[in-house]
Structure 1
Amino acid sequence: MKKRVVALYGSPGSGKGTQANLLAYRCGFVHFDTGKYIEQLVHNPALRKSPVIKRERRFFDTGYLCTPSWVLKMVRAQTRRFAKAGLSIVLSGSPRTLYEAKNLIPELEKLYGRKNIKFFSLEVPKDDAVKRNLVREWCSVCGAIIIDLGYRLRRCPICKGKLVRRTLDNRKTLVRRFEEYDERTKPIFDFVRKRGYRVVKIDGRPLPEKVFSSISKRL
């Protein structure tokens, strides 16, 4: 089967991670979650004294996007590894800035071919996305995203792992994250369109299964 790249975009809480996980589970993609990758890196106790990590941790924890050149270096290295292994990848929210896009997308074209790269944007009203962020939890074991609907779950219903909340999911930080998405990530859409790609808009409001069905039909 041909190797492919799917880039999922959307504001915080739009469901990018959930849909990327479904593509991984059901379609054989590798989900490269750059947000989680960076989060683990900047909060790695072994790296806490690094001046670069300290700088990036301040950006990350306050809702700002990390330094584009620093992020690009890591993402480029990882995507090269995936391509060399013959793996299809789904990127949830990456590249996140125009600088990253201008440098990463041409390389993805060389590694995977233009015809094998797809861009999707999950469209969710801001109020709905904010609510999702404020009530969601993450499984510390399998990475599943669980929306707390009042059941007060302590364990993941999938693997029984401990559920945790991200430090980013608070109102103050969310304001900045939405601003960063609007100001620094959305301009990527015009860039990829000028390169001949279509950014497929998907209604992200329905249940995950229906959203996944909409994406699958357009792969």
Structure 2
Amino acid sequence: MILDHVLFLDDQIVVLNKPSGLLSVPGLHNKDSAFGRLSAELGELHIVHRLDRDTSGIIVYARNKAALTFIQQQFEKQTTRKVYESLVNGVVKGNLGCINMPIIVDWPNRPLQKISHTEGRYALTRWRKLGVENGNTRVELYPKTGRSHQLRLHMQQIGHPMVGDPFYSKDYDEQKTPIMCLHARELDFTHPTSGERLAFVCKPPF
């Protein structure tokens, strides 16, 4: 039941630990989504931001239009704090890094994205190594921008696609890695009515 995954709920917002494999919002061919399931239980709901279907972790929805505007402005002005955790293929060299590569949709291969230094939109990801596990590297990711597939594509571009990524990993094997190892672990933002700074942390399932 979707309410079992709720981390916080009041009359303004709902914060959810979205499972991997579930859409954030209804898709063109698949209408089942976290948004749909929650709105069926809670009524009025508004989309603040999105996580990829294969990404698990913390996502917030607004329960009225005023709350939607208030929180969306924080995402647009980058006053939120977002931390992701991932397990990527191979051993990443170094302990810290920054990936600055512009992204554009790969139209013939949608929903895939690609790097384009002439037409792409600015995209910046910072990363930090947490450790090496069985030949793979656990990293923290700090996206400055929020382009579609940004973290997945950026890590693939430096030679370390995410374990279990069906789009960008050449070694993808659903039997070995049924979920993609990308998790929205932390999210901080200001509550729309109380003004309190909320900080959520949810450990990854991998």
Q: What TM-score comes out, normalization by structure 2 length? A: 0.27
- Relative to its length, the structure with more helix (as a share) is 1
TM-score calculated relative to the size of structure 1? 0.25
Higher strand share: 2
Q: Higher relative contact order at CA 8 Å, sep ≥6: structure 1 or structure 2? A: 1
